[in-house]
Structure 1
């Protein structure tokens, strides 16, 4: 007997908002009649948290991983025990997307220590002599766009005196520029410019780095970790002085989300401007930003 099970969503992009109905069909292909003991469809969403081993120790992180936070759970009995005829059978479904009581929905996000995911799981029960059929389908949750706040530009100047390290080992240089807003919509690019006024040594590269800062914890302790999402080179070689260099960065969908500050976890974002000199000495200037859905 050959049997395949699939879940097909009505929306091609698989993106849903709170209050919408997640609709689609369960597709069963079988070359002979299929007897089953019931078909169920479960919709669930979780925030999965993991303590960093470097902060709390390997064994503690293993035994004290933070309990997942369940955001959504809907259990639907699609069919009682019965028989599915040979051929292709499509069973439509429609599940309302609402959070559990005292919970709220967050945007889908795939991080290193924090993951927010939503799934549909179909299970066809069969007799003990046959293996149950199971299929999982991920879908994405997204906030509805809100009215955009006025942009809050960041004017910056980078020099040895401005560096947190005090500029130890750095050559004499000065760079200034602007980010058009410190409050950015995840669906719009980050823009701005940068100008090298002067530098005593040749420059090898200037890079823009997007960083996620994930904080999660439990009674045993909290961990806070910054990890790189993407790195874009905006200047290659010894940049001409007093020339405006454009800053343009698109936020990757699954690895970013609107900034979240909650009791058990935080998801925040930062930008680093990294200047690498010809002798491979590098300096970094950090800028916190807030991501929104506007």
Structure 2
């Protein structure tokens, strides 16, 4: 049985705008030659938007603005109708990575309500009664222009968390008396470098069960008629377990996961922002959260 595959020259599949995406279409025909009605290769790049369950039905006007935004659509004829010999055949290709009617390509990003993806799709048409062959290969796009891109300039954040500073708790009298101090090295970060900082429990009248750091994405979809904004957790890292010693510095260290994060992005149709939550869980499983907006850049 014949098989079809796409092999890219770059093992990491990371490309920047203006580069040539090079590779080969690999056809394994098996023990006998195969006939085909043509082989085509399509490069696609798009932004797919969708609404969360709580937003569906609230904004009818959204549905016209939630159509996929096409960034790239480029088709290439790899082979005209004919026959391929038995065994393995490799057909080389190269396609320029250029935006279609947009100022620039957005970075690859796999979100919940916003998805930015780039792919190559090869299609081999077969004669009557023979099944057509298809193969899709995703590749990754990153920003390339260091001169235009925003640079990550250090913006240290000092914080104190106590019952008085909490804004998302209704009955503060039920919160045990505590005080946590700390700092984040910067609220503006290069996406390839870790988030660093430290915190210290100065005082707490009850036992602590856990201290955690959450990375949250805030995705906004919409148009002039209104916006739907949803926050979802990307990852949660426990930095302390059990009733931690008072007055001892606890390090904060988080690496940003590839594909699930991207440089902070704002357009007319959608936005992608990121936040850090510091979560303190008490022994009775009650918890308090302090939120810190952060900005991610490529350089």
TM-score, length-normalised on structure 2?
Answer: 0.93
Q: 1-side partners of 2:191 and 2:22: how far apart? A: 26
Structure 1 stretches lacking a partner, 5+ long? none
Asked whether the equivalents of residues 214 and 224 of structure 1 are also in contact (C-alpha less than 8 Å), the reply is yes
Match of 2:238 in 1: 233
Q: Relative to 1, partners in 2 of residues 1:61 and 1:249: Cα closer, same or farther, differing over 3 Å?
A: farther
SS in structure 2 opposite 1:193?
Answer: strand
Match of 1:215 in 2: 220
Q: Relative to structure 2, which stretch is displaced further, 127-136 or 91-100?
A: 127-136
Q: Relative to 1, partners in 2 of residues 1:218 and 1:127: Cα closer, same or farther, differing over 3 Å?
A: farther
Deviation of 1:59 after TM superposition, in Å, equals 11
Q: 1-side partners of 2:145 and 2:281: how far apart? A: 38
SS in structure 1 opposite 2:174?
Answer: coil
Is residue 61 of structure 2 the alignment partner of residue 56 of structure 1?
no
SS in structure 2 opposite 1:152?
Answer: coil
Q: 1-side partners of 2:135 and 2:185: how far apart? A: 45
1:107-139 per-position Cα deviation (integer Å, ceiling 9, x unaligned):
111111110000000011122322211110000
Q: 2-side partners of 1:225 and 1:114: how far apart? A: 10
1:78-130 per-position Cα deviation (integer Å, ceiling 9, x unaligned):
11111111110000010000100235211111111110000000011122322
Q: Relative to 1, partners in 2 of residues 1:232 and 1:159: Cα closer, same or farther, differing over 3 Å?
A: same
Asked whether the equivalents of residues 59 and 226 of structure 2 are also in contact (C-alpha less than 8 Å), the reply is no
Is residue 293 of structure 2 the alignment partner of residue 284 of structure 1?
no
Q: Relative to 1, partners in 2 of residues 1:66 and 1:217: Cα closer, same or farther, differing over 3 Å?
A: same
1:168-201 per-position Cα deviation (integer Å, ceiling 9, x unaligned):
4211111110000000111111000001111111
Asked whether the equivalents of residues 53 and 61 of structure 1 are also in contact (C-alpha less than 8 Å), the reply is no
Structure 2 stretches lacking a partner, 5+ long? none
RMSD: 1.9
Match of 2:273 in 1: 268
Paired residues in the alignment total: 293
1:84-103 alignment runs, 5 A limit: 84-103=84-103
1:171-250 alignment runs, 5 A limit: 171-218=176-223, 221-250=226-255
